[in-house]
Structure 1
Amino acid sequence: MAEETLSRLILEQLSSIFKLDENMQTLASKLEVLSCQETDINSELKNAELLKGKKRKREVENWLKNIEQKRSEVQTIEQELGERRIFSRVKYGKRVKKMIEEVEDLVQQGRFPEGIMIDACEARVNLLPTSRLVGETSQRNLEKVWASLMNDEVFSIGIYGMGGVGKTKITMHIYNRILEHMDPFDSVSWVTVSQEFSIQRLQNDIAKAVGLDISDEGDEKRMAALLFEGLKKRKNTVLILDDIWDHFPLEKVGIPVGVNGCKLIVTSRSLDLCHRMGCQAIIKVEPLPKEEAWMLFEEKLGHNKAFEPDIKEIAGSIVDKCAGLPLGIITIAGSMRGVDDIPEWRNVLEELKESTRQGDMESDVLPILRFSYNRLRDLKLQLCFLYCALYPEDSYIERKELIEYFIAEGLIDGRRSRQAEFDLGHSILNKLEHSCLLEDVKGFRQDRCLRMHDLIREMALKITGASPRYMVKAGRQLRELPDEAEWTADLEKVSLMKNEISEIPSATSPRCPNLSTLILRENPLERLPYKFLLHLRSLSLLDLSHTEIQILPNSISDLECLTALFLSRCEQLIYVPSLAKLKEMRVLDLSYTKIKRVPQGLENLVNLKRLNMHQTWNLETIPTGILTRLTSLQQLILDYSSEYVWVQAEELVSLRHLEEFEGQLNDLDCFNWYVKSQHYRGLNSYSLQVRPDDCLNRSAYIENDDKYVKEVRFANCCLTGGGEGGVPLFLPHDIQYLEINECQTVAGSLLDVISPLNNARELKACAVVHCDRIECILSSPSSSSTCNAPFQSLEKLVIHGLQNLSALYKWGRGDVAVPLNGTFSNLRQFEIIGCPKIKKLFTRHFLQHLHNLELLYVWECKQMEEIISLDDEEENENAAMYECSSSSSDPSSSNSPSFDSTAISFPRLKRLSMQQLPELKGICKGAMARDSIQSIEVIRCPKLKRLPLSLHPCDEQHSPTCPLEEIVIDDKQWWESLEWSHPGQKNLLQPFVRFY
């Protein structure tokens, strides 16, 4: 029997080898069909967005993203197949077969029977974050603008006033008021106009704001025509252009003011500009009167106690000097927080009088802002503030990125650890924020960012026009380098980031002996001439990241003062010259480059603290012995997607100052040795991967939003567990994320494989993927070494592609009938996907452990019949009660089955998603209480006959406290055929139905 099984396996493997090329052709063919479908959908989207005022559905966006991801996966397989061993071809054969099915699924999904668009006005738009208006004057200004906007004969409104009088804030309130009421408007869009704007940039910004895609158009006139047509179709729309510095013809941009109810609001500092823009109504935003200025000052100062009389008199004089300008008042108040000393208040008043007397700046508000800068006192704090001006106007600056710059520039005092340097960096940024010189904002994915008000940036640039001397031409869409005459000898920092510079003439050789910082990032620069760096011998920071450079010039090798070289996302870069002489180097970032070898002389960089080689896919090896020479390393990030790049545990342990590590160990013995060395205890973050063979594992199955900074991944390993004849698996005690991907196991229970998990008290997330021998996640304590409740701290659990998983847990029939108390007690998100053998997920008894569950996803489980079932004891009890009730002649007998009427409770469940469950017949017996449920999703579950939702008083009252937001389904006929427990239940739930 064993020989037959072995023969069958060999035949299957040989079949996979011989059919791989054929399957790859099939995959390519099906991908071509999908690409054609994608092209048609994109054409339809573009037409509908431009001409019909529509917006694409979120599911369409997701579908397009999935296609791009699938295309990338196919390209990766094609690139890596060439030089693989036979065993790997077997693995790829299985993967290719699965990808054929996935591409076919995408083709089916792309039919969109319910359409691909919604009305633009249906898309949810968030309110702008803004503080309340202080005083009657600001409120009056707001009402003036609103009255003009509601006037049917006025289509263009100009709002002007001296810098810093709150034009933007008033306009933000107008924007929010339109969103909250809409009538008589159908939509509103906001665009901030940069000081260095161009017509094409403005056209793209407006198109993005209103949901149009004209990025493929390069011609300005064609873009104007498309934008005009798209805006005209929307009808009754309001377009807000904030902070215009220069006038421009509206028709040149493509703004159809007055056509189909399209209205325009512009803000500017200039009355003349409002006239030249053709504004029909013009409102001047007056400075705040004395009383309201004082109210604003008190609010921003944050005093919790009454002013002493002498201080109040001085503070009143300081507010008077601000001339009713809100930005000046806010900035001064920020600089005076916590000051209680009368002499210091008097000194501040004298300094403010002096700064406003000098009249060395164009606007009345700039001397006030300059005073707040002077109040910083600390020189390094001032330099950190000025550094922010190197970014383009209106940039959202990531705090982490900014602190990295501060550290590389030496603006942060040397600390013993990288963590201490980051803590100091955050402290510096907090001080600048509290002084109101920087504004805290939320960036992409809600990252903490900072923004510099355009007036404050203007003040900073005026300061850097003298000493220290900066040249800042960031974000101006320059196509050429500034003239050589602008590269003066006194320059210290140059920022040309985010431009369109693709070429630097080979003869260009600026003579700037004092230049320490050169930022050329985010330009399509293809080449850096040898002579360009020849006379920049004081250069300490060079940032070429996000450029198209392929080869760095050898002149870099002579920049002996260089301390930081940023080359991240130079995705064409294949060559870096010798770094042997750059012994002052502290930071080297080579992430996302195509280098094949580490730069020559890397071992000489004995002062190097940060080395980043993340996603250097082409890197062939890291020669043994190099890392042990880099004894100052605090951060080491290596590519763990390559089968060639891994580090020996002994080398890793030799790095005594290391605080952050990401990389790959070559086998389980090496991993166990490293964990037992306890070296990881000194790391603030780590991402360790063990992958002894080549397999496609390039991304985590649980999205990491920097919440989990201590991660371990096993890919293609043989995890035998600590049982008889097995190798025990040692895990770090502070592990937060664990992933087990395509691993062979002996034990049928995950708990038996990772029994040392008992010591991992901080594990927050776990993903188990494509491990075919695992039959359950939890097993009886009698069959494992676990004596305490497992997974006590776990918040997220992902189970994906376990072909033989038949139950979530299999517990013994002894004294313990259910898992130990505390098991899964903190679980908030549970996903089970592609597990074809499991029929029932939870039992009622098990629910007591899931009282914190918020998100439940059950997808693609072919035999799943019920989400919440009765265990054997409950089934027997229920059957006995049913038999008893059947023999009773009284239909209303109290012996009727109790479980049918008992409400099941997930007290914190917010979303329940069920997709592609062809055998699902029920969610649970009885009703499911929905005190917290916001969303239910049922896609391709044809046998499900009822939604067991208990009625709630808010259904009838439409109470705003009712949590239910949507029931998402894909089949109207399925909805109509559902059975309901109570009359009228369908009608009560109908308003929540959304079609997928």
Structure 2
Amino acid sequence: MEASEKLREVYECLSSCPSNVAVESMPPPVQEMSGPPMSAQNRNLQNALHYIKDDPTVGMIGIWGPGGVGKTHLLKNINNSFGEGMTFNFVLFVTASRGCSVEKFQSQIMKMLGLQSTGYNSHIIHEYMKTKSFLVLLDDLWDPINLEDVGIPYPLGNVNNLKRKVVLTTRLRKVCGQMKVEKELKVPYLLEHEAWQLFEENVGAETLSSPYIEALARELMTELKGLPLALTTIAKAMYRKDIAQWETAIQYMQQSCCTDDEDPVELGMETSVFMQLKFSYDNLRSETLRECFKTCALWPEDASISKGDLANCWMGLGLVNEHDIESSFRKSYNLIADLTAVCLLEDIEDLYGFVKVHDLIRDMAVWISCGCGENNDKWIVRAPADKDKRVIIPWNKAEYISLMSNRLTQLVPIRFHPDPIKLRILCLQGNNLNERVIAEAIKNCTSLTYLDLSSNDLMSIPEELCSFGKLEYLNLSENELQVTELPRSIGKLTNLKFLYLRNTSIRTIPSEVMSSLKALQVIDLRTFSELYGSTVREPYVKGRAYFNLGVLFREFGTLSELKAVGTIAIGSDEFDSLGVAANLPLRYLTLIKLEKLCLSDILLNDFAQRTLYDLIITSCDNLEEIIVRHDTRESNNHFGSLNQLSVILMPKLKEVAWMGATPASTLPRLTYLEFCSCDSLLHLSWVMYLPRLEQLHIIQCDSMVQAFVRCHGDKLCNGQEKEKTFPCLKFLYLQGNNSLDTIGDDGMEFPSLERLVIMQCPALKRLPFQLNSMPLKLKELGFYDVQEWEGLECEEGVKTLLQPAVRFGTYRF
């Protein structure tokens, strides 16, 4: 979800403004991991906990077994077995994955321990850990790692009153030997009764209603040889299938599975398991869905993938192309739901709007994309072990290349080859590549149709990119360009459909450049990442050239294929220019440095009622109120598509004033709402009755004593006090609200609430829950540390009911 990514950016910017940010306490000793609990009688769990807790001679423990057998599940349960009264100072859960470097290990550890990098991370980590007892859990290790290079003191068990243990998981038993583990635990395949129980749970009782189908199901389950991931994935694929389909599935598995005397781990990349799992891929309902699934492998192992990013990728590749952008997003989210339903994608429980791919499923996707192992150079998806390593790539053979999120600084350029370069898709986002390195490496890739260079170190836009006549998708976002003008030669990209310039310094576009991009469907000009900081930088105030929005919008009006526009408007003059965009498909809008704001004025523009999806209002230093009035000039007085609203860095904002308008009728589709660093804001009572609100974030609103007042004396509450509050709210996040004493009145209803997270709200004493008004769907009640939980005062019995949902730790979005 784009708002979630935006919120993370805001937090990073706020961290550079110490006067606005509360000082954080040390992280909790154990951070709870999501996932189902394992039986306490599980033999491997019992053995692992024995070696960790009771055997002073064991320092290093290795857990190994094939992919998909449940190693990570076991490690998470080991993590969650520790809490109050443990003998370790802290427990660290570190995800390794293929190609994980010392730097990546260090980055994760320093973040969890709250340590600041000074360039000597090994020394910093070692100095912190050398006097402490610790348990480090290393998940999915593919190659040996020198713990002392990372900074972790070598685990010797119990020495000098310190207890130091490391537990690792790996698919490869040899890694256990290379890491010199003292105790090995092999995670076995499930026994037959365990396998049937798992298969039965996932295929559903309705599917097994016929005795004959149940017999076929047991036969198919036997063919899967007790691998949990295969059992879950294939069971989901067989939901409500008929007898003929069951018989076909059994035949497929009999032909694809390894024989009894073959070990899947020894077959190289677990090919037999891939063939099992490929059944779910083959049974997807359309070729489009199969192609969409394969693109999920472009992201790194264990990556949290934004659903919005997936949708943008699929649109950029031409896999999803509906008549308007909202329909394209809706179709993309439906495709994601289809893939999730058959376990080819997984929702991330504590991260709304994101999915992930099990690493074995991801490996299978790459295997399929490479012709089931017949052409391994067709798709190159690689994570180098060393960020500074010059990555050698078979440019002349590959069609898809993804090196995203590796912090690379170098690429080996293409050498002369008589064969034409077939490369069509290149994903380089999340690296440290400059324009010279990129231009030299890819200057001959004239067949490129999709190029993502976001989040790199570009200082200018390489002229070479403008010669790629087939290019349809170009993302240059999140680059701190030193140029402010878009090159005129961009106009030569006549096949370009998607152009993203978000959070760059581009503020000028030469005339007629946009109008020459006749194929353009999406343009995002929400530039200047520093706008989310505490102030707008001086050049804007002194009048450095802005977009001439009026001229630009008129050029956009000549583009017949245009489906979505994103832009910023700084000050009242640019705000007034939005009238020229009245009939454009304006989807993303950021308003900055306004002295006054009436949201109803935006509603005079057709885009506000029809296409506006994401609105940010920020850095309006003197604005004391946002007015929303019922406007008799306009028959349609609501934001018909607005889904996300963020109000950020508004130090004098006291209220949102509703004059004749009601929140429910004005914002009928709003699902995400965020107020951040609004120091004068007194309450947000008006949000209680928004009909579709799912996520609400209130951060650093220091004047707020009570967030929601059931009736605070104005017309807004009349007739609404008997309505259910927060009918759809799933996630409420409160952070750094120093005066907040209570969330709301006793007896407020939260019928859909799944997560309530309270971070660094030192004055908070009461929750709005009583025994007769408990949030029945609450899965997680999160705090930074145990003191915040213990300081709450609740009606007798309420804490007991809430206790199972309590979690401590840092939180992701």
2:104 maps to which of 201, 204, 213: 201
Offset of residue 152 of structure 1: 3.0
Cα distance change on mapping 1:481 and 1:333 into 2, 3 Å: same
Matched, 1:453 2:362: no
Residue 240 (1) aligns with residue 240 (2): no
- What is the deviation of 1:662? 5.2
SS in 2 for 1:761: helix
- In structure 1, the partner of 2:434 is 526
CA-CA distance at 1:146 after TM superposition: 2.5
CA contact (8 A) 1:156 1:278 kept: yes
Q: For the structure 1 residues 824 and 474, does the alpha-carbon distance in structure 2 shift closer, same or farther, using more than 3 Å as the test?
A: farther
| Shift in alpha-carbon separation, 1:730–1:487, aligned structure 2, 3 A | same
Query: What CA deviation, in whole Å up to 9, does each residue of 1:426-449 have, x standing for no partner?
Result: 122222222222221146xx3322
Are 1:630 and 2:538 an aligned pair?
no
SS in 2 for 1:234: coil
Which of 274, 277, 283 is the aligned partner of 1:366?
274
2:180 to 263, 267, 278: 278
- Tell me the SS of whatever aligns to 2:62: strand
Q: Tell me what 1:288 maps to.
A: 190
Counterparts of 1:944-959 in structure 2, within 5 Å, are 954=796
Partner of 2:507: 596
**Whole-angstrom distance in 2 between the partners of 1:449 and 1:144:** 34
Matched, 1:557 2:458: no
> CA separation in 2, counterparts of 1:321 and 1:791?
53
What is the match of residue 320 of structure 1? 222
2:508 is matched by which residue type in structure 1? R
Q: 1:583 aligns with which of 485, 488, 494?
A: 494
Which deviations, in whole Å up to 9, do the C-alpha atoms of 1:449-471 show, x marking residues without a partner? 22122222222222333469211
Instruction: List per-residue Cα deviations over 1:221-263 (Å, max 9, x = no partner).
Output: xx4454344323222x221112222224444443331241111
In the superposition, relative to structure 1, how do residues 431 and 738 fare at CA in structure 2: closer, same or farther (>3 Å)?
A: closer
Matched position secondary structure for 1:687: strand
CA distance in 2, matches of 1:640, 1:479: 40
User: Does the aligned pair in 2 maintain the 1:734–1:760 contact within 8 Å?
Assistant: no
* Structure-2 change in CA distance of 1:828 and 1:798 (3 Å): farther
Verify the 8 A CA contact 1:509 1:531 in the aligned structure 2: no
Shift of 1:642: 5.6
Which residue of 348, 354, 367 maps to 2:255? 354
Read off the aligned partner of 1:286 and give its amino acid letter.
Answer: P
* SS of alignment partner, residue 474 of structure 2: strand
- 3-state SS in 1 of match to 2:167: strand
Q: Distance in 1 between matches of 2:59 and 2:473?
A: 53
- 2:608 aligned with 1:680, yes or no? yes
Are residues 569 and 338 of structure 1, via their aligned partners in 2, closer, same or farther at CA, if it must alter by over 3 Å?
A: same
Report the secondary structure of 2:303's partner residue: coil
Residues 616-695 of structure 1: matches in 2 within 5 Å?
A: 616=528, 620-622=546-548, 624=551, 625-641=554-570, 645-646=574-575, 648-655=577-584, 675-676=603-604, 678-683=606-611, 685=613, 687=615
- Greater helix content: 1
Q: Does 1:265 align with 2:167?
A: yes
Take 1:146 and 1:476, find their aligned partners in 2: how far apart are those partners? 32
Instruction: Quickly say closer, same or farther: Cα 1:67–1:672, change in 2 above 3 A.
Output: closer
Identify the match of residue 231 of structure 2 among 326, 329, 334.
Answer: 329
1:382 Cα deviation after fit: 1.9
* Kept after mapping to 2: 8 A contact 1:729/1:756: no
Q: Which has the higher contact order (CA 8 A, sep 6+)?
A: 2
1:227 aligns with 2:125: yes
1:130 aligns with 2:24: no
- The residue type equivalent to 1:822 in the other structure is G
Secondary structure class of the residue paired with 2:435: coil
The answer to whether the 8 Å contact 2:30/2:92 transfers is: no
What TM-score do you get using the length of structure 1 for normalisation?
0.60
User: What is the CA deviation profile of residues 660-718 of structure 1, one whole-angstrom value per residue up to 9, with x for unaligned ones?
Assistant: 555689999999786446553322525387xxxxx9528999xxxxxxxxxx967xxxx
1:139 aligns with 2:37: no
After TM superposition, give the deviation of residue 406 of structure 1 in Å. 0.5
Contact 1:507–1:532 at 8 Å: present in 2 too? yes
For the pair 1:297 / 2:199, whether they are aligned, the reply is yes
How far 1:620 moved relative to its partner?
Answer: 1.6
Residue of structure 2 equivalent to 1:345: 246
3-state DSSP of counterpart to 1:191:
strand
Q: Secondary structure at the match of 1:208?
A: helix
What is the CA deviation profile of residues 914-957 of structure 1, one whole-angstrom value per residue up to 9, with x for unaligned ones?
9999xxxxx9xxxx998899999xxxxxxxxxxxx999873xx9
For residues 355 and 46 of structure 2, the distance between their equivalents in structure 1, rounded to whole angstroms, comes to 31
Cα pair distance change 1:635/1:283, threshold 3 Å: same
Which residue identity does 1:239 align to in structure 2?
A: V
Q: Cα distance 1:526–1:685, how it changes in 2: closer, same or farther (>3 A)? A: same
| Structure 2 residue identity aligned to 1:682 | R
In structure 1, C-alpha distance between the alignment counterparts of 2:634 and 2:647, rounded to whole Å: 14
Provide the rounded CA distance (Å) in 2 between the counterparts of 1:356 and 1:777.
58
2:531 is matched with which residue? none
Partners in 2 of 1:771 and 1:960 — Cα distance? 34
Deviations for 1:580-604, whole angstroms, at most 9, x for unmatched residues?
2322222111111112312561112
Q: Is the 8 A contact 2:391 2:410 kept in 1?
A: no
Equivalent pair of 1:738/1:767 in contact (CA under 8 Å): yes
Partner residue, 1:907: 747
Q: Secondary structure at the match of 1:432?
A: helix
Q: Distance in 1 between matches of 2:648 and 2:636?
A: 15
- Give the whole-Å Cα distance in 1 for the aligned partners of 2:216 and 2:324: 44
Question: In the TM superposition, what is the alpha-carbon distance from 1:731 to its structure 2 partner?
Answer: 10
Matched, 1:697 2:595: no
Q: Secondary structure at the match of 2:144?
A: coil
Q: How does 1:158-177 map to 2 (within 5 A)?
A: 158-177=62-81
- Partner letter of residue 505 of structure 2? K
Matches within 5 A, 1:732-771: 733-735=637-639, 755-757=659-661, 761-763=665-667
Highest CA radius of gyration, 1 or 2?
1
The one-letter code of the counterpart of 1:327 is: L
Change (3 A) 1:561 1:130: same
- Work out whether residues 620 and 650 of structure 2, in 8 Å CA contact, stay in contact via their aligned partners in 1: no
Q: What SS is found at the alignment partner of 2:460?
A: coil
Letter in 1 for 2:546: E
Matched position secondary structure for 1:68: coil
In 2: Cα distance, 1:397 partner to 1:316 partner: 35
Taking the aligned partners of 1:856 and 1:454, their CA distance within structure 2 comes to 33
Establish whether residue 157 from structure 1 lines up as the match of residue 61 from structure 2.
yes
CA distance in 1, matches of 2:615, 2:364: 43
- Distance change (3 Å), C-alpha of 1:599 and 1:700: farther
1:69 paired to 2:17: yes
Residues 915, 206 of structure 1: CA spacing in aligned structure 2 closer, same or farther, 3 A cutoff?
closer
Looking at structure 2, the residues matched to 790 and 183 of structure 1 have their Cα atoms a distance apart, in angstroms, of 42
Return the alpha-carbon distance in structure 1 between the equivalents of residues 343 and 724 of structure 2: 41
2:324 is equivalent to residue 417 of structure 1? yes
SS in 2 for 1:157: strand
Matched letter for residue 190 of structure 1:
F
SS at match of 1:213: coil
CA deviations 1:270-309 (Å, max 9, x no partner) are 3333233222222222211222211111112123354534
Give the SS at the match of 1:174.
helix
Which consecutive unaligned segments of at least 5 residues does structure 2 have?
1-9, 529-539, 704-708, 727-731, 750-755, 775-780, 784-790, 807-813
Contact kept? 1:613, 1:638, Cα under 8 Å = yes
Pair 682,255 (structure 1): closer, same or farther in 2 beyond 3 Å: same
Q: Which amino acid letter does the alignment assign opposite residue 494 of structure 1?
A: I
Secondary structure of the structure 2 residue equivalent to 1:261: strand
- Contact persistence 2:70–2:228 (CA under 8 A): yes
Distance 1:916 1:125 in 2: 21
Q: What's the % identity of the aligned pairs?
A: 22
Distance 1:124 1:825, change over 3 A: farther
TM-score normalised according to structure 2 size: 0.73
Q: Is the 8 A contact 2:69 2:229 kept in 1?
A: yes
